[in-house]
Each structure stands twice: as structure tokens, then as C-alpha cells.
Amino acid sequence: DAKTTQPPSMDCAEGRAANLPCNHSTISGNEYVYWYRQIHSQGPQYIIHGLKNNETNEMASLIITEDRKSSTLILPHATLRDTAVYYCIVRGGTVGGNTPLVFGKGTRLSVIA
Amino acid sequence: EADIYQTPRYLVIGTGKKITLECSQTMGHDKMYWYQQDPGMELHLIHYSYGVNSTEKGDLSSESTVSRIRTEHFPLTLESARPSHTSQYLCATSRDPSTDTQYFGPGTRLTVL
């Protein structure tokens, strides 16, 4: 699976959009981009995933560049409860695929009042 | 979302004891996973299962063992606990066979004295 590169930490003002970048320059055609987050001492929480097109759900938006070598997770109106470690993961998505997700170090997002 | 239960949530035990950490889910997901995470550190996959009677070792070597006799249960056992086993253990399940979106339980925080 392609490796990802994320900044170790970021700050964001409460109420502003949080834009978390992720580089995955070696991604291949069948690999999905996943985002999870982990709030202190809890299990990770799935946020969103995508293959080529931009995706949006009730939690966030995922913007994937046209060449798919990078992506950005957007939290449109960050709150204090969004303070967490955010993981960007790339994994092949073949039907019945057998490669588990591999979590890296992630980005520690601090939302500041 | 999956309902995933882990018991106990906290366990303090002496060296040499045998322990079993329980993980159960009510959604009928085939794939289940065990991760180990030290405070402030990365998640490491230690075991996973694709279904009943299937178990695989993860990328982090572990002295623990797992079994998958029933779809709902994926217990993890340490035959002889040591202080080096002190960590948080997180169980997860996966619903979608192609994209492997994972849902995590609340975790078990183990302390071995």
C-alpha cells in the first residue's frame, strides 16, 4: 500500500474550517484514501473515504487532486470536540481485499477557542 | 454503525497471570481486528480474522493469541502476562469487503504489575 505523509500537528480556530493535508504520491489506481480520527484514549472513528471524486458527508469533505497524489480533509466549522489525531490511510480496494488498514502517526489537530 | 463491545474496559493484573480480553459485535461483520496502542503512540495491528476459523498475525509481533469460533466473538488471550504487555488493546470490525471501513470498540486498558 502507498505510504502517506501528514504534518505532525496543526492548530485551527474554533468555528473556522480545518484543512488537513495528506500526500500520497505513490498511490496506485485501485487504492482508496481513508480518513479516520482518534479522540484522546478512544478507538479511532471512521470519517470518510474516496477513490477519485471529491466526497462529502455529515462530518467532512474529502478533496482529492486530479493526479490523486494528495488529498485534503476539510472540517467546515471546527469545534473543540474536533480536537483529535487525524489519520490519512491509503489502501487497495479490491473486492474481498485482504490487506488491513495501516495507521501511521497522523496529524494532531488542536482546535482553539 | 457497528455495535462493538470490549470487556473489561480496564484491567490491572499481576505478572504471570493468564488473561483473556473479550471483543464482541452484533452486526454480523466478517472481518475483525485487534490493535495495540501505547499512550501517544501509533496503532499497531497484532491480529485479524476474515471470518470463522480464520486468524492471521498482524504487522506487530505479539505474544498474544486469538480465536474465532463464532462470528460475533474475537477474544485475545495472553497466557502469561508481563509488564511489557501494558498497553491499550482496541478491537475493530469491518463491514464492506471491498473498502474495509473499520469500526472500533472502546478499548481495554491493560496494566501488568
Question: What CA–CA distance (Å, rounded) separates A79 from A74?
Answer: 13
Q: Which of B3, B38, B99 to mutate to test the interface with A (most CBs of A within 10 A)?
A: B99
Chain-centre distance for alpha carbon B8: 12
Q: Which of A89, A76, A26, A97 is nearest to B94 (CA)?
A: A97
Nearest 5°: phi and psi at B77?
-125, 135
Give just the sign of the alpha carbon dihedral A31, B90, A23, A4: negative
Answer whether A105 sits within 8 Å of B42, measured CB to CB.
yes
Q: Which of A41, A88, A40 is nearest to A60 (CA)?
A: A88
Answer whether B102 sits within 8 Å of A101, measured CB to CB.
yes
Give chain A positions within 8 Å (CB) of B107.
41-43
Confidence of residue A30 (pLDDT cuts 50, 70, 90): confident
Maximum alpha-carbon separation in chain A: 44
Supply the DSSP string of A27-40, one letter for each residue: --TTEEEEEEEE-T
Q: Which of A35, A37, A46, A59 to mutate to test the interface with B (most CBs of B within 10 A)?
A: A46
Cell of B21: 480480553
In angstroms, the separation between the Cα of residue A16 and the nearest Cα of chain B is: 26
Answer whether B98 sits within 8 Å of A96, measured CB to CB.
yes
Average of pLDDT values for A22-46? 90
A39 to chain B, any CB pair closer than 8 A? The answer is no
Q: Which of B43, B56, B93 to mutate to test the interface with A (most CBs of A within 10 A)?
A: B43
Question: What CA–CA distance (Å, rounded) separates A64 from B87?
Answer: 35
| N- to C-terminal Cα separation, chain A | 38
Cell of B2: 457497528
A and B: number of Cβ contacts within 8 A:
57
Confidence of residue A38 (pLDDT cuts 50, 70, 90): very high
Question: What CA–CA distance (Å, rounded) separates A17 from A39?
Answer: 18
B40 to chain A, any CB pair closer than 8 A? The answer is no
Cell of A43: 478507538
Answer for the pair B81, B15: CB distance below 8 angstroms, yes or no: yes
pLDDT of residue B61: 76
pLDDT of residue A84: 97
Summarize pLDDT for A70-102 with one digit per residue, the tens.
999 999 999 999 999 999 998 875 544 556 778
Question: What CA–CA distance (Å, rounded) separates A83 from A43?
Answer: 14
In angstroms, the separation between the Cα of residue A41 and the nearest Cα of chain B is: 8
Counting as low any pLDDT under 70, the low residues of chain B are 1-2, 96-100
pLDDT of residue B25: 96
